[in-house]
A = this chain, B = another copy of it.
Amino acid sequence: MTPFSHSLAQSVGSLNETTLISCIHNWLGRATPPPPAGIGDDCAVLPAVQGSPLLTIDPVVYGKHFDDSLPPEQVAAKLLKRNLSDIAAMGGRPHAAVLGLMLSANLSMTWLERFFEGLKVSSLTYKTHIVGGDICSAEGRTFAATLTLYGEASRPVQRLGGQPGDRVAVTGHLGGSLLGKHAAFIPRLTEGQWLAARPEVKAMMDLTDGLAKDLPAMLPPQACARLDTASVPLDEAAGRMAERSGQSPLYHACCDGEDYELLVILDGQADLSPLLEAWSRDFDLPLTLIGKFADASPETDGHLTDAANGNILFPRGGYQHLSGQ
């Protein structure tokens, strides 16, 4: 469904700002509390939290993060879940979000209502209030939504903290997200909180740009990441992408991005059996050991390498945001 309408009467351009905000208020329903905790005051007043406050920001933009093929409800869900995945990667819990909208006058009211229906359902599902926002007009065919998510973590787990000798694990299956998972993924909030409570966990991030780019981002200086390529849990979509592209399924698992699985660095000095057994009891989702951090040579410093032969894997792999490749 396209976000834009040829009929002015069915477009946001037919409304004034107060009316549009009133519509949004109605569409969000229970997902927004009364002011000052919700929409309607200069700032949203948030509840005080026990742990460390967390803040993250991510957008969805028409033509970049979605197109006419994605239902508006899923566009909204993707927007919230991209941010939730960042909270998950710190081992945190979400609380509240504010939304910045840029939209052209020809944006369809039907599309926008369905977008907010999706945002309501997703925010109720993930216990995240929508507490405020801003709307501004734009030219052409524009829908850009920027969401800022506020949360907390008892122990915020960072990206950095791993050392040579530490083990690398990943949740779920990787690759081929463009075939559906990029919009239908589940942010690993429960799993992230569970992992943050384990002392064996030294660092985490969520896989948004692919192993080939994200795992090197977790390395300390003078280290490399050795990947046991045979152990990488391939999504069946990685295989389908490989049939189309002529690349290997492993290439897609390492370079596609938008898996939104957790990449976890585990203490190499610890016996990991109790953690892995406890995980299996608590979750159906796999947690797979896929490699380790090691001291690097000048050639392998900062790189993802194949543990079997030491070769650098996909040196320019992973999603490049500015070029969109």
Q: Decide: B20 and A55 in contact? CB cutoff 8 A.
A: no
Identify A92's interface contact among B43, B47, B133, B153, CB under 8 A: B43
Partner among B44, B153, B159 whose Cβ is within 8 Å of the Cβ of A40: B159
A324 to B135, CA, bound (A): 12
How many subunits of this chain does the assembly comprise? Answer: 2
Contact status A44-B55, CB under 8 Å: yes
Residues in B whose Cβ lies below 8 Å from that of A57: 98-100, 132-134, 146, 148
**What's the nearest-Cβ distance from chain B to residue A223, in Å?**
17
Give the number of residues in A that approach B within 8 Å (Cβ atoms).
Answer: 70
Interface pair B159/A42, CB less than 8 Å apart: yes
Cβ of A46: which chain B residues have Cβ within 8 Å of it?
A: 52-55
Per-residue interface assignment for chain A, residues 263 to 303, with 1 indicating a CB less than 8 Å from any chain B CB and 0 otherwise: 00000000000000000000000000000000000000000
- A231 CA to B63 CA in the complex, in Å? 51
Whether the Cβ atoms of A48 and B59 lie closer than 8 Å is no
- A228 an interface residue at 8 Å Cβ cutoff? no
- Roughly how many angstroms separate A35 CA and B43 CA in the complex, as a whole number? 26
Contact B323 A16 (CB under 8 A): yes
Assembled-state Cα–Cα distance A82/B48 (Å)? 24
Q: Do B43 and A56 touch (CB < 8 A)?
A: yes
Q: Which of B56, B140, B151 contacts A98 (CB 8 A)?
A: B56
- In chain A between 38 and 79, which residues have their CB closer than 8 angstroms to a CB of chain B? 40-49, 52-59, 61, 63-65
Q: Is A158 an interface residue (CB 8 A)?
A: yes
Say whether A80 faces chain B, with CB atoms less than 8 Å apart: no
Task: Judge if A137 is at the interface, Cβ distance under 8 Å.
Answer: yes
Report the separation of the CA atoms of residues A41 and B52 in the bound assembly, to the nearest whole angstrom: 14
Q: How far is the CA of A150 from the CA of B48 in the complex (A)?
A: 13
Measured CA separation A35–B158 after assembly (Å) = 8
Give the chain B neighbours of A89 by CB distance below 8 A: 42-43
User: CB distance B56 to A132 under 8 Å?
Assistant: yes
> Does chain B have a CB within 8 A of A320?
yes
| A230 within 8 A of partner (CB) | no
In the bound complex, how far is the Cα of B65 from the Cα of A323, in angstroms? 27
Cβ of A323: which chain B residues have Cβ within 8 Å of it?
16, 137
Among A15, A43, A204, A324: residue with most chain B CB under 10 A: A43
Instruction: Fill in one digit per residue for A1-41: 1 if any B CB lies within 8 Å of its CB, else 0.
Output: 00000000000110111001000000000000001100011
* A96 touches which of B55, B134, B204 (Cβ 8 Å): B55
| Contact flag A45-B36 (CB < 8 Å), given A16-B323, A17-B322 | no
Q: A308 within 8 Å of B by Cβ?
A: no
Checking B47, B92, B321 against A136 with a beta-carbon cut-off of 8 angstroms, the contacting residue is B321
Show 12 residue pairs from A and B whose CB-CB distance is below 8 angstroms, ordered by the A residue. Answer: A13-B322, A42-B85, A44-B56, A45-B54, A45-B153, A46-B54, A48-B52, A56-B98, A57-B99, A102-B144, A134-B146, A138-B144
Interface residues of A (CB under 8 A from B): 12-13, 15-17, 20, 35-36, 40-49, 52-59, 61, 63-65, 85-87, 89-90, 92, 96, 98-100, 102, 105, 131-140, 144, 146, 148, 150-151, 153, 156, 158-160, 204-206, 320-324
